[in-house]
A = this chain, B = another copy of it.
Amino acid sequence: MKLHILGCHSATPRSTVFPSSQLLEINNELLLIDAGEGMQIQLRKYKHKFNKIQHIFISHLHGDHFFGLVGFLSSLRLIGRDKPIHIYAPTGLKAIIELQFKLTQTDINYPLFFHELTSPESELILDTDRFSVKTIPLEHRIYANGFLIQEKPALRKLNIEAVKQYPEIETWAYHNLKRGKDFISEDGSVIPNEKLTLPPPPPKSYAYCSDTIYKPDIIPLINGIDLLYHEATFLEKHKDLAAKTKHSTAKQAAKIAKDSGVKSLVLGHFSSRYPDESLFKKEAAELFKNVDIAQEGKTFEV
């Protein structure tokens, strides 16, 4: 699992600074999380294939989190997309996109599904063989969700050296071994699975929390996850402004990370009022050491 930052600044795009948008890479698939203006420019710049995206998650309907979506969906049509696209977003985005397609006389030639989010509680919104996605209810000036993406345990790995010591284990048995079953030979004797296989790497988990006021309610949802991306629009010296605009400070993000025991923290959604973004890291590191700051084009291993 890898996190690729396309944009991690608040408000408006500039030449090298883009509003919220990121990709979570799981196996060979890319989950697109938020779609600020210019995200398709960033996809091309960092050579991410448009066609690896199948699921799009939009946290809330502020322009700096979705103005890039309609252009991306239009471009998919131009490049001859045929696989479906699923969009998980607050109610309203469907109307915005469909009105533009209607008035621009755009026939989308791929299946496009909207999954409109309205619940104030966390809900499971996607469940595949490899991962699941749940919402993380946030508190902002408008209805907003974060997203928790959890890998499912991978198959166990065959310990080929061990397997070869038992000539009775034929290749047709591998399928069950990888799924953790013991081997039972024709005479009824049992070879325990752990003698024949190795455990898979532990499943990874990632949470995206932007935009939100400091909200300790989310702690149980993200408890012990591998990587948390949390917004830090302001520094602590502007905590009143953060509260007023329903954003967080770097210190508040660090407190969430610490109290939920996550393994590491990435900060983003920086206000352009701060010329030196290393101050966000410095402030957060006082509470939570394993912290880094997002940056356009940067990749984090989860």
Contacts and interface: CB of A to CB of B under 8 A. Distances in A.
Given A38-B38, A68-B37, A95-B103, A11 B78 contact: yes
A11 B73 CA distance: 12
A70 interface: yes
Contacts of A78: 11-12
Contact of A74 (B12, B95, B104, B142): B12
A40 interface: yes
Number of copies: 2
A104 B38 contact: no
Interface of A: 11-15, 37-38, 40-41, 44-45, 61-63, 67-68, 70-71, 74-75, 78, 92-93, 95-96, 99-100, 103-106, 141-142
A51 to B, nearest CB: 14
Q: Most chain-B Cβ atoms within 10 A of its Cβ — which of A12, A62, A74, A141?
A: A12
Given A14-B41, A96-B103, 12 more contacts: A12-B40, A12-B75, A13-B38, A13-B41, A13-B71, A37-B41, A37-B68, A38-B41, A67-B74, A92-B103, A99-B99, A105-B142
Given A37-B38, A37-B71, A71-B37, A100 B63 contact: yes
Contacts of A74: 12, 63, 67
A62 B107 CA distance: 12
A178 to B, nearest CB: 42
